[in-house]
Structure 1
Amino acid sequence: MKIGDTVVRKSYNKDITFKIIDVKDVNDKIIYVLKGVNLRIVADADGEDLEEVKEDSFGRAEILFDKKVNDSIRSIINERDNKDVKKKHKSSKQIKITPINNNKSMTFRRPGKILHIDGDAAYLEVCLKVYKQLSIDAVGRVITESEQPDKILSLVKEVKPDIVVATGHDGISKDIEDYIDLNNYRNSKYFVEAVCRLREYEPNYDNLVIYAGACQSCYEAILDAGANYASSPERVLIHCLDPVFVCQKVAYTSINEIVNIQDVVKNTITGYKGIGGLQTRGKCREGYPKSAFIR
């Protein structure tokens, strides 16, 4: 097997589809480093445990993931459209004088801006495509998890986002009893430290909204450090796009409203087992009047 091959692990009942991203010689034994195709997980395995699969014959799990992603995107767009229709209908009842330009809405929205820092370039590329689909202004940077604490603050000062995502890969050691000890996690300590740096800079949870964590991350420690949202409450694997679906809700919720945390979780792929957080004010501002020179 070689780098780039798509494989599953026999010892885990072929539950997750991986790409081989590295090959190592450990004590005269070939070990393959694997990255989840859809899930934010990195794992090691020997060749005997792996079975190659073709990309056009992915398992049922991948098909379900793709369906859930498409369903979530449609649900988000439909929810926004329905909200706009209800708002216009409500306004038309209150206004008794018909404006001259009654065929054009005079208001416009400016959703929150997102800085997405990711330890994985391929995942970031997918996330940025979906941000674009959802009409969100997002800036992406690839930074390995261990370097995020030292670089995240300078990026925030440069980009000046409303919402910051710090994610990548994580994992938990096998057969542990202490789920709060950060030493038992691959990268949780870096997410915690990155959040601490941001909160020292901006303590207000509504001025700067923070999402941090990846697969199986230490949820409690990341929230305690100052994140608004984090993974993973039940130490499950999270989907590549879960941070996107969390932050889009905040970006498009009015600054006059508190984001409903259950609505946030509802539109993620993993659900409440993988994503959670705190009450947070939306980052979308309404403007008036809309420019006549911009469509």
Structure 2
Amino acid sequence: MTGGQGMEWNDQLVGRKSYGCDVLFRVVDVLERDGEEIAILYGADIRLVADAPISDLALMTDKEIEKFEEEYRSLEEESFHSFTADTKQNEDRKNSSSSLSFHLPGRVLHMDGDPRYLKKCVDAYTSLSVPVIGIHCQEKEMPERVSSLIDQYQPQILVLTGHDAYLSSRGKKSDINAYRNSVSFVKAVQEARRKMPSLDQLVIFAGACQSHFESLIHAGANFASSPLRVNIHALDPVYTVGKISYTSFKDSIFMEDILRHTLANEDGIGGVETKGVLRIGTPYRAEMYQD
């Protein structure tokens, strides 16, 4: 369905006709460029930012929106059940040796350029019982803010995400300046590493759709997107670091451990061998929590 002249486009769910409406986008702004109205688009379920002439937009019908949402809802549920089953199995194994222990999963500082995605992610962390502090922060502001936020919240895990995209008109895929927000993510990782240099002291996930993976890893991220410049889902950072949060500091995590819980595959998320941050303590007594 095509919108009429003079309609209010902000917050509308749309597709790009030139791409066959393959991705569901939300219009976040409309700008004028060379006498033409250009819409700024955020992926509704993937961490992609794009722009398109208003003339290229098609309003999605309720039926089309439901089809997109059902597809991603099914994937999200699969990731959730995979994560919770894996976590329960690990807890049962550890508790078999001591029924009097308690667990301290790693605390996450999640900085997100998209307030809608931030809420979605915080809700997911809560469902997974992962301690989280969620901060809405524009991608370009992350390098300036990350250091003070680390001081304030003392996380074991840092997520730097939002929206990104590779723009072929700006250069080759190897050129980090050809990306919308990869430079900002890299600078934020570098600032975080100045504060906490060790990969095991602070575990970092950085990036969004199509981000410059190599630069993020070289800057000091443990995990990043996107090795083959593909899109990642809004919740992929959550399931990536959730696995870290609930893995013992004595155990190493490999990419295959991460990917089975995410909606992306090795084309979308990569990283380096990393230790977990979970701590197990004793004793646990129910009466400790009774008045």
Q: TM-score, normalised by structure 2?
A: 0.92
Of 238, 244, 247 in structure 2, the residue corresponding to residue 244 of structure 1 is 238
Letter of the 2:88 counterpart: D
Is residue 2:108 matched to residue 1:114? yes
Of 176, 190, 196 in structure 2, the residue corresponding to residue 196 of structure 1 is 190
C-alpha distance in 2 between matches for 1:265 and 1:117:
21
What 5-or-longer segments of structure 1 have no aligned partner? 93-104
- Deviating above 4 A after TM superposition, structure 1's stretches of 4 or more consecutive aligned residues are none
Q: C-alpha deviations, 1:71-95, integer Å up to 9, x for none?
A: 1111111112222333444x38xxx
Of 234, 248, 251 in structure 2, the residue corresponding to residue 254 of structure 1 is 248
Name the SS for the 1:293 alignment partner. helix
Is residue 2:233 matched to residue 1:233? no
Of 166, 170, 182 in structure 2, the residue corresponding to residue 172 of structure 1 is 166
Q: C-alpha deviations, 1:217-274, integer Å up to 9, x for none?
A: 1000000001000000000111111100100000000011001221102211111111
Of 66, 81, 86 in structure 2, the residue corresponding to residue 79 of structure 1 is 86
Is residue 2:256 matched to residue 1:293? no
What 5-or-longer segments of structure 2 have no aligned partner? 1-6
Q: How many residues align?
A: 282
Find the counterpart in structure 2 of residue 11 from structure 1. Answer: 18
C-alpha distance in 1 between matches for 2:63 and 2:94:
44
Identity of aligned residues (%): 38
Of 38, 58, 74 in structure 2, the residue corresponding to residue 51 of structure 1 is 58
Letter of the 1:130 counterpart: A
Is residue 2:273 matched to residue 1:279? yes
C-alpha distance in 2 between matches for 1:294 and 1:78:
27
C-alpha distance in 2 between matches for 1:71 and 1:139:
25
C-alpha distance in 1 between matches for 2:28 and 2:192:
31
Letter of the 1:25 counterpart: E
Name the SS for the 2:200 alignment partner. coil
- Offset of residue 175 of structure 1: 5.5
Find the counterpart in structure 2 of residue 67 from structure 1. Answer: 74
C-alpha distance in 2 between matches for 1:62 and 1:23:
24
Please identify the structure whose Cα radius of gyration is greater: 1
Distance 1:178 1:32, change over 3 A: closer
